[in-house]
Amino acid sequence: MATTITSSEPARAARNLMLVATAVMAIVLAVAPVVGIYPVFVMKALCFALFACAFNLLLGFGGLLSFGHSMFLGTAGYVCAYAAKSWGLTPELAILLGTFAAGALGAIVGALAIRRQGIYFAMITLAVAQMMYFFYLQTPFTHGEDGIQAVPRGRLFGLIDLGNPYAMYYTVLAIFLLAFLFIYRIIHSPFGQVLKAIRENEPRAISLGYDADRYKLTAFVLSATLAGLAGATKAIVFQLASLTDVHWTMSGEVVLMTLLGGMGTIFGPVIGAFVIIALESYLAGFGEWVTVITGSIFVICVLAFRRGIVGELAAWWTRARS
């Protein structure tokens, strides 16, 4: 079934457009630090873009709204930071370990949360994430309010010194692009098609013989793992793993990025993440107004702008052509 879809004429055109857009994105990001855009900003945005893409895999294509994705970002960050700092692992191993930890947590939480649907699913993930927050607050290895500070960036594969900002930047970019292509691949695989079918009509997918729960769990674990990759990378970049990343506001933020960029679109979460991170660094001096503005964007998106930036652009493009 999937092959007939991808080989049709408009689908092939869409795929070509997609590949061109990805290439453009990769080139723009690759030259960004050379032309003087602050690399730390882009690295931060890239980590959140990956986080949002991972989240979008679950919400946009699986129809599952997790309100606790901060637990995967934060868990991976803590594990990665601890492994790099206390065990002296090289950065790639620390990142892998953190990612794996997030995936394992995702398997446990996912198995629990998919027992309920819709709103309950959101509340359960939120509650479990809050439990993890208190766990990290109390357990000694995370150093509570201080977090794990001064995490060494180390040498990638024991060779490349990530203390060099350019080395760090291109490492983050490579991780992001690989994960982005991986997510694209998942979405356009037979697995992704079944996932969309379950999102549209779960009883029908079940009646066609698909084990919906298994597909949903797999999607949940994949999403958690990729969110973990973002969190672990972020810990190495900022040399810090802190409670901010496990707090529920972070879960809300990733929902917002995805909603603003366009859920269920490939590029939406990336654009949403860049916009939100830019907005936050721009408004950093305004204190609590950030919360008010973030909340207002939520409200506006839901009321007037449900397809998000990329979704609206795509709809406009379709209208303009016909």
Partner 1 sequence: MQALFGQLLIGLINGAFYAMLSLGLAVIFGLLNIINFTHGAQYMMGAFVAWFLLTKLGIGYWVALLVAPIVVGAVGVIIERTMLARLYKLDHLYGLLLTFGLALVIQGLFRNQFGSSGLPYQIPSQLQGGLNLGFMFLPIYRAWVIVASLIVCLTTWYVIERTKLGSYLRAATENPALVQAFGINVPRMITLTFGFGVGLAALAGVMAAPIYQVNPLMGADLIIVVFAVVVIGGMGSIMGSILTGFGLGVVEGLTKYFYPEASNTVIFVVMVIVLMFRPAGLFGRER
Contacting residues toward partner 1, per CB under 8 A = 65, 67, 112, 115-116, 118-120, 122-124, 126-128, 130-131, 134-135, 137-138, 248, 252, 255, 259, 287-292, 294-299, 301-303, 306
State in angstroms the smallest separation of the CB of 96 from partner 1.
28
Least distance CB 273 / partner 1 (angstroms): 17
Nearer residue to partner 1 within complex by CB, 181 or 292: 292
Q: How far apart are CA 182 and CA 174, in angstroms?
A: 12
Residue 146: both structure tokens together: 């201080």
Nearer to partner 1, 24 or 119 (CB): 119
Choice between 60 and 103, CB closer to partner 1: 60
Q: Among residues 68 and 228, whose Cβ is nearest to partner 1?
A: 68
- Round the CA-based radius of gyration of the chain to a whole number and report it: 19
Least Å from the CB of residue 147 to partner 1: 19
Closest CA to 156 of 146, 143, 170, 144: 170
Which one, 124 or 148, has the nearer CB to partner 1?
124
Residues 22, 14: Cα–Cα separation, whole Å:
12
* Other CB atoms within 10 A of residue 134 CB: 10
**Measured from the CB atom, is 66 or 171 closer to partner 1?**
66
CB of 163 vs partner 1, minimal distance in Å: 37
CB of 56 to partner 1, least distance (A): 14
Q: For residue 21, which amino acid is it?
A: A
Supply the minimum distance, in Å, between the C-beta of residue 95 and partner 1. Answer: 28
CB contact set of 45 (below 8 Å; sequence gap of 6+): 273, 274, 277, 278
Is the distance from CB of 48 to CB of 235 less than 8 angstroms? no
E strand or H helix at 234? helix 212-238
Contact 263/57 with Cβ under 8 angstroms?
A: no
Task: Please work out, in degrees rounded to the nearest 5, the angle formed at the alpha carbon of residue 312 by the alpha carbons of 9 and 47.
Answer: 95
DSSP 109-172: HHHHHTTS-HHHHHHHHHHHHHHHHHHHHHSGGGTTTT-B-S----EETTTEETTSHHHHHHHH
Question: Min. distance of Cβ 321 from partner 1 in angstroms?
Answer: 27
Least separation in angstroms between CB 256 and partner 1:
8
* Residue reference for tokens 């950065």: 91
Between residues 138 and 207, which has the closer beta carbon with respect to partner 1? Answer: 138
Which three-class secondary structure state does DSSP give residue 241?
A: strand
Output 40 or 123, the one with its CB closest to partner 1.
123
